[in-house]
Amino acid sequence: MMNRPYNVLFLCTGNSARSVMAEALITTLGQGRFVGYSAGSHPTGTVNPFAIEMIAQTGYDLSQLRSKSWDEFALRDAPEMDFIITVCDNAAGEACPYWPGKPATAHWGYEDPAAVVGSDEEKRAAFHKVFQQIAARTRLFAELPLESLDALAIQRELKAIGNTATLAA
């Protein structure tokens, strides 16, 4: 058993919506067992206000939210990641930095709610849908008996979660 929480890095291109929501969800749903982080290959520099609206419901410390480069997590003094999960198709296809410690990796794709064009209510509905999808997969992940699984089983479970159909609540 680990003597620290598992570190989970969620990657996307802009780090403004999906990866940030996933960071908050794994941290809050993981109840101290996980610490979530997020980053982007080409961060926008801001967190989408609709993402902030969704995250506020979790009780996550909103002051922790910021759009940042994945380069921060490749530095020598960065936290060592146990899991790295891409949440958008662009980041899944990009060459990632070297991650020390051989973290388990997976791709959990979601539609980009920030790409929705329409009224604020339409945008809010898109964010709510994706937030619920991320929450469903995150719950499955948080319930895994990681301490009793070997590395191959963990990798298999992570990928299976990414293939799980996600239904909006």
- Which position among 9, 88, 104, 146 bears the catalytic label? 88
Q: Which residue has the tokens 């009224």?
A: 119
- Which position among 12, 24, 65, 142 bears the catalytic label? 12
Q: Which of 61, 60, 67 is nearest to 138 (CA)?
A: 60
Number of Cβ within a 10 Å radius of residue 34? 22
Q: Which of 30, 39, 48, 35 is nearest to 10 (CA)?
A: 39
- Which position among 78, 96, 116, 144 bears the catalytic label? 96
Question: Do the Cβ atoms of 43 and 69 come closer than 8 Å?
Answer: yes
Separate counts of helices (H) and strands (E) for the chain: 5, 4
- Is 70 one of the catalytic residues? no
3-state secondary structure at position 1: coil
Question: Do the Cβ atoms of 69 and 51 come closer than 8 Å?
Answer: no
- Is 12 one of the catalytic residues? yes
- Is 113 one of the catalytic residues? no
Q: How far apart are CA 21 and CA 118, in angstroms?
A: 21
State the amino acid at position 151 in one-letter form.
Answer: A
Q: Which residues are catalytic?
A: 12, 88, 96
